[in-house]
Amino acid sequence: MTRHILERPPKIVILGEAAAVHTRRWVEHFRGMGWTVRWMSFAPTEDVAGVEEIPQLADRKALAIWKARTHVRDEIDRFDPDIINALFLPDYGWLACLTKRHPLAVSAWGSDVLLAPRKSILHRWRIQYVLRRSDWLFCDANVLRDRMAELGGRRENIRVVPLGVTDDWLEIGTTRPQISDRLIHVVTNRRLEPLYRVDTFIRAVRTIESDRPGEFRFTVVGDGSQRAQLDSLARELGVHDRIDFTGVLSGDTLRSVMTDADIFVSCSSSDGTSVSLLEAMAAGVFPIVTDLPANREWLTPDDTGVLFPVGDHERLARAIIDCAHDSEKRTQATQRNHELVSQRARWVNNMAQVEDDLLGLIADHRQSQTARPARS
């Protein structure tokens, strides 16, 4: 595709969940680049500005989307955008397809492709419907691209582009202090939801404390539906006083925690390219993560990171202990990881690619409309 400069700022409708941090970053990017953005979402949160609420006329999401299609289509027609971009396939992607507006680009971010098709025949049908009717598709990992192609997406129309990290994170990796003679700080930064298996981390803490008491600090960053359950598990295992549950952190506060961290852990049972992993790599924090295809796209096992089986808290505990006592391995790995993220996952570079793709879609669509013969 080729960049096309319009006579005015491009107009885009973004359909995506207001509560999702990735959606907010996406919207803020296009606004910052001068695009005229109309952002629509079911159940927008009060602390997010500039988002319009889509009426939710039913409890079940699929039925709510179906009932909202006419309202959303009418609003989009009035705005008359140059392009629509929907984030997350089975929900906002399907809603975007129901408007019958083009050009349409849809972004997949992990579970919508890897897990949702298994939920039901309806979920699978909706996802295939979106993949076959979208003009362009974004995803953040090769494993997602392959799955999207299996489900009906045209491989040549799928762009693999990780969301990436801001330069603030990369700066940490080049300036972080080297401190010895202190407790090894282990951090996990994932949502407290079943998908992310944070219970595995807490069970590993008990194993580590039984073997090497008092040698580590542990921090759980994030919040979610399992917060109370995980808090109770830590108390039951006798490690609650060893874990700092911080809740959701962002911006400088999160970067401060990661600047002090030595080891990053992710116990997720499914993933695309994890932004939390990329942030840790950029910040010079050694990663120990579950053995998933998307993680293997970024890490060389037992070299630039350690991979462990999903749910295996004993293997996780052993990996943390072993890596804690091999500072040379951690230093060499974090240097290579920082370089890799600098090359492949800078936010500004990757979003420039996204913007080029969308402008190319606009240009192609205009050209096709101009070339279409007039009706007699």
pLDDT tens across the length of the chain (376 residues)? 444 557 889 999 999 999 899 999 999 999 999 999 999 999 877 778 899 999 988 888 899 999 999 999 999 999 999 999 999 999 999 999 999 999 999 999 899 999 999 999 999 999 999 999 999 999 999 999 999 999 999 999 999 999 999 999 999 999 887 766 689 999 999 999 999 999 999 999 999 999 999 999 999 999 999 999 999 999 999 999 999 999 999 999 999 999 999 999 999 999 999 999 999 999 999 999 999 999 999 999 999 999 999 999 999 999 999 999 999 999 999 999 999 999 999 999 999 999 999 999 999 999 888 776 654 4
- What is the SS3 assignment for 236? helix
Q: Quick one: pLDDT at residue 6? A: 72
Q: Do domains 11-164+346-371 and 167-344 have the same CATH topology?
A: yes
Q: Cβ–Cβ contacts within 10 Å for residue 22, how many?
A: 16
Characterise 247 by phi-psi region: left (phi > 0), alpha (psi -120 to 50), beta (else).
Answer: left
CA distances to 110, 119, 129, 170, 221 from 116, in Å: 9, 5, 13, 33, 26
Sign for the CA dihedral angle at 273, 246, 200, 304 comes to positive
pTM of the model: 0.93
Per the CB < 8 A criterion, the answer to whether 248 and 90 are in contact is no
Q: Quick one: pLDDT at residue 2? A: 42
CATH 3.40.50.2000 given to domain 167-344: yes
Per the CB < 8 A criterion, the answer to whether 248 and 221 are in contact is yes
Q: Quick one: pLDDT at residue 376? A: 43
Instruction: Indicate the fold that domain 11-164+346-371 takes in CATH.
Output: Rossmann fold (3.40.50)
Residues 63 and 94: their CA atoms lie apart, in Å, by: 12
Per the CB < 8 A criterion, the answer to whether 44 and 27 are in contact is no
Residues 289 and 307: their CA atoms lie apart, in Å, by: 5
Q: Cβ–Cβ contacts within 10 Å for residue 137, how many?
A: 27
| Total count of residues recorded for the chain | 376
Q: Residue type for 159, please? A: R
Single out the residue of 103, 79, 109 nearest to residue 16, CA to CA: 109
Q: Quick one: pLDDT at residue 1? A: 42
Sign for the CA dihedral angle at 128, 133, 139, 141 comes to positive
Per the CB < 8 A criterion, the answer to whether 310 and 291 are in contact is yes
Residues 130 and 98: their CA atoms lie apart, in Å, by: 9
Residues 173 and 341: their CA atoms lie apart, in Å, by: 10
Structure token digits, residue 215: 């040698």
Asked if residue 103 has a cis previous peptide bond (ω within 30° of 0), the answer is: yes
Domain residue ranges of the chain, discontinuous segments joined by + = 11-164+346-371, 167-344
Single out the residue of 110, 138, 167 nearest to residue 346, CA to CA: 167
DSSP states along 58-107: SSSHHHHHHHHHHHHHHHHHHH--SEEEEESIIIIIHHHHHTT-SSEEEE
